């Protein structure tokens, strides 16, 4: 018997280091004919993987010419486009570090993350120059702005143009050999409290995560797919889709800046993507757009949805009205992001499948997951015990970049800040984010479940539930509701609708009818802003009991 430490038996496998360059080479050669289509509103640009690959090699040459060396950070400030994909490939392959910047950050936050990461070059779409220019004076490390497109860039001073740079560049001859633990890319969380925090992905974590995304039991990409990443490439690496799709040879349908329901519907009808990924608010907008417009979603075989809880009513409506299957997934910037995906388990009757699909998801192979109580003790996977979810694994971050936030880690596990239950078969149900939970009379009310049930009402477009201070109960739910255009709905009607759907004592007395639920920088409902509005007395509240 071996003792574990002094095992004398060596593996015969080659000591190959996992690298994004392997993903790149494979896609470029094996899937040379696959295409990247970028939507420009009225027309679509196209390039094959072979063409994109050749431009990637020249981009790396150009960036070397600008002095970019292994380990240096190169930022992107971009929509989802062919050029953004080129940077996704070139920068890690040359050993430098891709830093995807969230275009919706406030100027101070943007300056903070660029300076904190010490980006030397930022590659920016011409349409976004004015946004970046607002932070320009505060940027202390950027030596060059490289502008994609020929639009006005005067707000950034002297700039280089992407196409000019490529035209004058020699292809980088060979990619350097890298340690698989080397940094490949980084992304900052949106920083709900304090400064945004940086997560740095390695070549190894990215490679393994890409394989996990390709597995048939998760997203299951195929060469025959056409992938539409609506999720921004600055939001948790577009959920890993760019590398996974390049590896598989899927065609890309890049939406550029056209993320509103109307152009998106046109793009879908014209380009016929088979798989897409986006947060629920986008799919909700598209669904409502389809109520009074001709929309053809028949090309989809699968729509991945996550980033916040996916309402069951949304999944049912997509299936019933458009024959489109939505698959819910869970993850975080810190988890690369794939952590769980809600494929129904075997042995489930067809009419029960939705009960499983409406849950948060089943933990994917490669990620270890547990729930713990307030004292940090592990709780059982019995579908009943509620605790904070902790995860660990090869694509889960073990720290934040240049930020000692030890509270977010627990004996080597990442504390997710999500609270929920786990079934014996590994199916997770998130009931809330720790900071969103509502405690009424000492008992928890799940804001996620209440929102789900309110949004199941035909007249409701959006709903977000926050905690409101209450003299008697400590806290009670306050439901902020957006009615569908032209529809009247009252608090009393909604209370009736909830009767029988949730425990009686969960039903909110306080209701606010608003024009829109505010969104975070990645398009999720922003309860922080709602809470602040409520504290400032800006919400008009109807009380009904």
Among 58, 524, 527, 534, binds ligand ADP (CB under 6 A): 524
Q: Is the N-terminal amide bond of 228 cis, ω within 30° of 0?
A: no
Q: How far is the CB of 234 from ligand ADP (least distance, A)?
A: 11
Distance CA 129, CA 146 (A): 10
Interaction residues for ligand ADP, span 197-236 (CB under 6 A): 236
Among 79, 239, 300, 330, binds ligand ADP (CB under 6 A): 330
Torsion angle of C-alpha atoms 490, 492, 497, 498, degrees rounded to 10: 120
**Closest to 113 in 3D by CA, of 234, 214, 31:** 234
**Do residues 256 and 80 touch, judged by C-beta distance below 8 A?**
yes
Q: Output the six-digit token pair for 513.
A: 């009818």
Shortest-Cβ-distance residue relative to ligand ADP: 190
Residue 35: which residues within 8 A CB-CB, separation 6 or more? Answer: 46, 47, 48, 49, 251, 252
Interaction residues for ligand ADP, span 453-472 (CB under 6 A): none
Tell how many helices (H) and how many strands (E) occur in the chain: 15, 27
> Is 517 an interacting residue with respect to ligand ADP (CB under 6 A)?
no
Residue 74: which residues within 8 A CB-CB, separation 6 or more? Answer: 63, 68, 87, 91, 96, 97, 98, 99, 119, 120, 121, 122, 123
Q: How far is the CB of 190 from ligand ADP (least distance, A)?
A: 3
Indicate which residue of 81, 100, 189, 335 is catalytic. 189
In order of 52, 177, 182, 247, 281, the CA distances from 17 in angstroms are: 25, 8, 10, 17, 39
> Is 520 an interacting residue with respect to ligand ADP (CB under 6 A)?
yes
Q: How far is the CB of 236 from ligand ADP (least distance, A)?
A: 5
Site size with ligand ADP, rule: CB under 6 A: 23
> Is 306 an interacting residue with respect to ligand ADP (CB under 6 A)?
yes
Taking residues 145 to 184 in sequence order and writing x for each that binds ligand ADP by CB under 6 A, - otherwise, the string is: ----------------------------------------
Distance CA 311, CA 305 (A): 10
Among 238, 341, 522, 530, binds ligand ADP (CB under 6 A): 522
Among the listed ranges 156-164, 217-225, 368-376, 518-526, the one in contact with ligand ADP (CB under 6 A) is: 518-526
Q: How far is the CB of 335 from ligand ADP (least distance, A)?
A: 8
Beta bridge partners of 537: none
Indicate which residue of 170, 223, 435, 439 is catalytic. 439
- CB of 18 or CB of 101, closer to ligand ADP: 101
> Is 19 an interacting residue with respect to ligand ADP (CB under 6 A)?
no
Distance CA 39, CA 43 (A): 6
Q: How far is the CB of 333 from ligand ADP (least distance, A)?
A: 4
Three-state SS at 16 = coil
Taking residues 233 to 262 in sequence order and writing x for each that binds ligand ADP by CB under 6 A, - otherwise, the string is: ---x--------------------------
Q: How far is the CB of 518 from ligand ADP (least distance, A)?
A: 13
Interaction residues for ligand ADP, span 84-103 (CB under 6 A): none
Q: Output the six-digit token pair for 396.
A: 């889960």
Q: How far is the CB of 360 from ligand ADP (least distance, A)?
A: 5
Q: How far is the CB of 524 from ligand ADP (least distance, A)?
A: 5
**Do residues 376 and 410 touch, judged by C-beta distance below 8 A?**
yes
Residue 439 annotated among the catalytic residues of the structure: yes
Distance CA 483, CA 130 (A): 34
- CB of 78 or CB of 397, closer to ligand ADP: 397
Q: How far is the CB of 48 from ligand ADP (least distance, A)?
A: 32
Q: Which helix (H) or strand (E) holds 266?
A: helix 261-271
> Is 311 an interacting residue with respect to ligand ADP (CB under 6 A)?
no
> Is 429 an interacting residue with respect to ligand ADP (CB under 6 A)?
no
**Do residues 306 and 328 touch, judged by C-beta distance below 8 A?**
yes
Angle 49-65/20-30 helices, nearest 10 degrees? 140
> Is 523 an interacting residue with respect to ligand ADP (CB under 6 A)?
no
- Strands 427-433 and 97-100, how do they pair? unpaired
Taking residues 387 to 426 in sequence order and writing x for each that binds ligand ADP by CB under 6 A, - otherwise, the string is: -----------------------------xxx--------
Interaction residues for ligand ADP, span 470-499 (CB under 6 A): none
Residue 535 annotated among the catalytic residues of the structure: no
Interaction residues for ligand ADP, span 346-365 (CB under 6 A): 360
**Closest to 101 in 3D by CA, of 141, 68, 64, 65:** 141
Indicate which residue of 83, 86, 334, 451 is catalytic. 334
User: Which residue shows structure tokens 């949106």?
Assistant: 190
Q: How far is the CB of 448 from ligand ADP (least distance, A)?
A: 6
Residue 189 annotated among the catalytic residues of the structure: yes
Among 76, 218, 328, 421, binds ligand ADP (CB under 6 A): 328
> Is 55 an interacting residue with respect to ligand ADP (CB under 6 A)?
no
Q: What is the DSSP string of 103-170?
A: TTS-HHHHHHHHHHHTEEEEEEEGGGHHHHHTTGGG-SS--EEEEESSS--GGGSS-EEHHHHHHTPP
> Is 190 an interacting residue with respect to ligand ADP (CB under 6 A)?
yes
- CB of 202 or CB of 520, closer to ligand ADP: 520
Distance CA 170, CA 350 (A): 57
Residues that bind ligand ADP (CB under 6 A): 189-190, 192, 236, 306-310, 328, 330-333, 360, 416-418, 430, 433, 520, 522, 524
Q: Which residues are catalytic?
A: 189, 334, 439, 444
């Amino acid at each position: 018997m071996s003792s574990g430490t002094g095992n004398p038996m060596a593996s015969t496998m080659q000591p190959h280091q996992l690298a994004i360059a392997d993903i790149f080479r494979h896609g470029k050669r094996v899937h040379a004919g696959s295409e990247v289509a970028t939507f420009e509103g009225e027309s679509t640009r196209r390039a094959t993987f072979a063409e994109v690959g050749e431009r990637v090699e020249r981009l790396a040459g150009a960036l070397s010419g600008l002095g970019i060396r292994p380990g240096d950070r190169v930022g992107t400030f971009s929509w989802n486009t062919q050029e953004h994909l080129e940077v996704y490939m070139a920068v890690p392959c040359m050993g430098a570090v891709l830093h995807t910047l969230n275009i919706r950050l406030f100027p101070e936050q943007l300056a903070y993350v660029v300076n904190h990461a010490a980006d030397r070059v930022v590659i920016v779409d011409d349409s976004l120059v004015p946004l970046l220019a607002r932070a320009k004076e505060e940027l202390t490390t950027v030596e060059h702005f490289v502008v994609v497109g020929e639009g006005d860039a005067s707000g950034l001073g002297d700039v280089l143009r992407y196409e000019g740079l490529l035209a004058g560049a020699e292809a980088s001859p060979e990619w350097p050999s890298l340690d698989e633990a080397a940094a490949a890319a980084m992304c900052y969380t949106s920083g709900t409290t304090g400064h945004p925090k940086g997560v740095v992905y390695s070549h190894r974590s990215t490679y393994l995560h890409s394989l996990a995304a390709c597995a048939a039991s998760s997203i299951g990409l195929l060469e025959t797919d056409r992938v539409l990443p609506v999720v921004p490439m600055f939001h948790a690496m577009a959920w890993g889709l760019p590398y996974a799709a390049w590896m598989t040879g899927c065609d890309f349908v890049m939406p550029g800046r056209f993320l509103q329901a109307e152009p998106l519907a046109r793009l879908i009808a014209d380009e016929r993507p088979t798989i897409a990924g986006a947060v629920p608010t986008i799919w909700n907008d598209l669904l409502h757009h389809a109520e009074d417009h001709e929309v053809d979603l028949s090309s989809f075989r699968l729509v991945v949805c996550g980033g916040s809880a996916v309402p069951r009513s949304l999944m049912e409506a997509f299936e019933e009205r458009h024959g489109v299957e939505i698959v819910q997934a869970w993850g975080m910037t810190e988890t690369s992001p794939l952590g769980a995906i809600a494929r129904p388990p075997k042995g489930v009757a067809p009419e029960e499948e939705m009960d499983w699909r409406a849950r948060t998801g089943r933990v994917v192979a490669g990620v270890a997951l547990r729930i713990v109580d307030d004292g940090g003790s592990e709780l059982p996977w019995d579908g009943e015990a509620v605790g904070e979810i902790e995860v660990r694994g090869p694509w889960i971050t073990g720290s934040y970049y240049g930020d000692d936030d030890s509270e977010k880690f627990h004996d080597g596990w990442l504390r997710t800040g999500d609270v929920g239950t786990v079934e014996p078969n590994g199916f997770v149900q998130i009931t809330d984010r720790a900071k969103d939970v509502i405690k009424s009379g000492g008992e928890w009310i799940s804001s996620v479940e209440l929102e789900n049930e309110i949004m199941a009402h035909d007249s409701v477009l959006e709903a977000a539930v926050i905690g409101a201070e209450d003299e008697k109960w400590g806290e009670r739910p306050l439901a902020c509701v957006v009615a569908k255009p032209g529809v009247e709905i009252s608090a009393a009607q909604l209370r009736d609708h909830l009767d029988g759907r949730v425990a009686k004592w969960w039903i909110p007395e306080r209701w606010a009818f608003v024009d829109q639920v505010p969104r975070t920088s990645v398009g999720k409902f922003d309860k922080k802003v709602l809470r602040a509005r409520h504290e400032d007395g800006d919400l008009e509240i109807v009380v009904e009991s």
